Amino acid sequence: MYIYDEETGILTLTSTSNYRYNFIIGTGYDPELFQIVTLTAVGLATANLGSVTYTGEVPERELPAACQIPCKEQPPFPIDDTFPMTTVYTTTWTRTDEEGQATTESGIVSRLGTSESTISTFTNNPIFTSTWESIDDGGETITRSGLISTSGEEIATISTFPLNPVYTSTWEEEDDEGGTVTRSGLISQSGVDVETISTFPAPP
C-alpha cells in the first residue's frame, strides 16, 4: 500500500512484510493519480501489485540553491613534468671507431630523463637494388637483378629477382569477330618470349 502526505511531500510505501519506505518526492502531486501496478521489466523479478506509478504531470517547483550552482570548467589532468619520462625514438649520432675515425651511426635509443641508452644500431651497409651479369650453368652470360648490400668494396647479394620479370602491360589483339580490342594484364618476359599470366577484365 502507499500513502502520500500532501503537506510534507513524502510518499510512504508499505510492503507485505510491514516494511515502510519513505520517499521525499515533494509537494504538489495529486493523491488520486497514484496507482498500484504490476512491474515487469528485463532483469527484474515480477512484482505483482507491488509498484506505484503516477499518471499525472510532475508538479513545477523552484530548484533549491544547491541545484542552481553554475557548472565549472573541467580542471586539467594533473601531470608532473618533473618526473622523468621514458621515450623511445630513432636518432643519428657520431662516434669514434677503433681506428680513431669519426663514423656516423643510426639506431633506436631510449631516453629516461636526461640519460640515453642505445637499444639497437642500424646497419651502416646500405641496401639497394642493382643489375649485374653472371654465368649460368650452361656457360651463357645472363643479366640478373636483386637486392645487394655494400660494405666498402665488398658486395653481398641479399636476394635475387626471378629471371623472368612480371609486370603489367597493354596490348592489342583480334577478337572472335575480327575486330581489334585492347587488353591489359600481367605478362612475363624471358628474352624475346612474352607469356600472358592473367588478363584484366575489360571495362563495361
Q: Characterize the bridge pairing of strands 102-112 and 115-121.
A: antiparallel
More confident of the two residues 149 and 178: 178
Averaged pLDDT for residues 164-174 = 77
pLDDT in the model for residue 152: 64
pLDDT of residue 190: 67
Confidence label for 79 from pLDDT (cuts 50, 70 and 90): low
- Please check the confidence at residue 53 and state whether its pLDDT lies above 70: yes
Please report which residue ranges of the chain form alpha helices under DSSP H: none
Looking at residue 165, its pLDDT comes to 65
pLDDT in tens, 82-102: 555 567 777 778 888 888 888
Write the DSSP symbol of residue 137: T
30 pLDDT above the threshold of 90: yes
Q: Is the pLDDT of residue 33 over 90?
A: yes
**pLDDT tens digits, one per residue of 101-158:** 887 777 778 777 677 788 777 666 666 677 788 888 888 888 777 767 766 677 777 6
Q: Residue 128: its pLDDT value, please?
A: 67
7-23 pLDDT, tens digit each: 999 999 887 777 888 99
Confidence (pLDDT) at 16: 72
pLDDT at 162 over 90: no
* Average pLDDT for the chain: 77
| Strand locations in the chain (E) | 2-5, 10-14, 20-24, 34-39, 47-54, 86-96, 102-112, 115-121, 127-135, 141-151, 154-160, 166-174, 180-190, 193-199
DSSP assignment of 37-82 equals EEE--TTS--EEEEEEEE-SPPPP-PPPGGG-PPP-PPPPPP--TT
How far is the C-alpha of 144 from the C-alpha of 127, rounded, in Å? 16
* Residue range 25-41: mean pLDDT, rounded: 83
Average of per-residue pLDDT across 156-177: 75
- The residue extents of the domains of the chain are 2-63, 86-121, 127-160, 166-199
Provide the percentage of residues in the chain whose pLDDT is more than 70. Answer: 73
